[in-house]
Structure 1
Amino acid sequence: MLRPGENVSKCIFDGDDAPNTRHFGAIDDAGGIRGIVSVYRNGHPSIEDADVYQIRAMATSPACRGQGVGNRLLTSAENYVKSQGAGLIWANARTSAVEFYIKAGYRVVSEEFVIDGIGAHYLVTKALV
């Protein structure tokens, strides 16, 4: 779902097994995965606050898009980050997903940039108060 047509090794990230990393999934009644998101305690060079979390590996199945699955996953990730006492969450949002993040209360804080092999992105942040 995250990297269609690529080897699953492309979906393994540094920090996946860290004690403060959390992985969330939306599963349907038949046990099928409908969406995923992970959050990592990870700073960003342009963010001064050291206690921030990064959203990574956010994806929903094409059949579920527009049904609130992504919003529920994002809310779960944000609630976890709040429970850890962190006040900010950030993501490298694909250009095609920026509107999703804006509607969820995120701010675009960078110019568009390209992540090699993945595509165009923007840095987005959200204060969790």
Structure 2
Amino acid sequence: MTSEITIRPVRVDETYALRHQVLWPQEPLAYIKLNNDEAGFHYGAFRNAKLVSVISLFIDGNVARFRKFATRPDCQGQGIGSQLLRHVVREARDKGAHRLWCDARAVNEAFYRAFKLEPEGNRFYRGTIPYVRMARDL
């Protein structure tokens, strides 16, 4: 059974639980908060009125960066994160960005390539997790 997904802006504090659960559950909650969170645009995907995916968008001039993209584990692989990322690509473009980038976990590189993001530079690590910067023109 598929259910309707609704995407809308959310308050930054609404993103914290999912960020923590999905991205860095072994760290304290403060670890997933960003110094510039208040300057960002935060979006959530809701299924049956429950928040199941979050992403945060930051605009600097004509360059946009998305961060802290997290989908509840039991909702992954169902296209929900894809819908949310497509929404954020449109939002970035609508807000005047000409370029979009993220620091992606290397394990998710193929997912981001499907959105025309390409690797830039070398892999780097946060703790033991390999990352790669990925970017595209809008």
| Alpha-carbon distance in 2 for matches of 1:118, 1:30 | 35
| Alpha-carbon distance in 2 for matches of 1:51, 1:85 | 6
Q: CA deviation at 1:10?
A: 1.3
| Corresponding residue of 2:132 | 122
CA displacement, residues 85-116 of structure 1 (integer Å, 9 cap, x when unaligned): 1110100000111110001111111221112x
Cα gap change, 1:5 to 1:114, in 2 (>3 Å): closer
Return the structure number with greater helix share: 2
| Corresponding residue of 1:15 | 36
| Alpha-carbon distance in 2 for matches of 1:35, 1:76 | 12
Counterpart AA for 1:127? D
| Alpha-carbon distance in 1 for matches of 2:81, 2:121 | 23
Cα gap change, 1:89 to 1:118, in 2 (>3 Å): farther
CA displacement, residues 34-71 of structure 1 (integer Å, 9 cap, x when unaligned): 111111124xxxxxxx5211110011111111111111
Task: Say yes or no: does 1:38 pair with 2:56.
Answer: yes
Cα gap change, 1:118 to 1:84, in 2 (>3 Å): farther
1:104 is paired with a residue whose SS is coil
| Alpha-carbon distance in 1 for matches of 2:29, 2:43 | 17
Question: Could you state the TM-score of these two structures normalised by the residue count of structure 2?
Answer: 0.77
CA displacement, residues 12-55 of structure 1 (integer Å, 9 cap, x when unaligned): 1022111xx21111122152x2111111124xxxxxxx521111
Residues paired across the two proteins, number: 117
| Alpha-carbon distance in 2 for matches of 1:7, 1:113 | 22
| Percent sequence identity over aligned pairs | 27
Task: Say yes or no: does 1:65 pair with 2:76.
Answer: yes
| Corresponding residue of 1:75 | 86
Counterpart AA for 2:120? V
Greater alpha carbon shift after TM alignment, 80-89 vs 117-126: 117-126
Q: CA deviation at 1:7?
A: 2.2
Counterpart AA for 1:77? V
Moved over 4 A (4+): none
Q: Counterparts in 2 of 1:102-113, with a 5 A limit?
A: 102-113=113-124
| 5+ long unaligned stretches in structure 2 | 1-21
Question: Could you state the TM-score of these two structures normalised by the residue count of structure 1?
Answer: 0.82
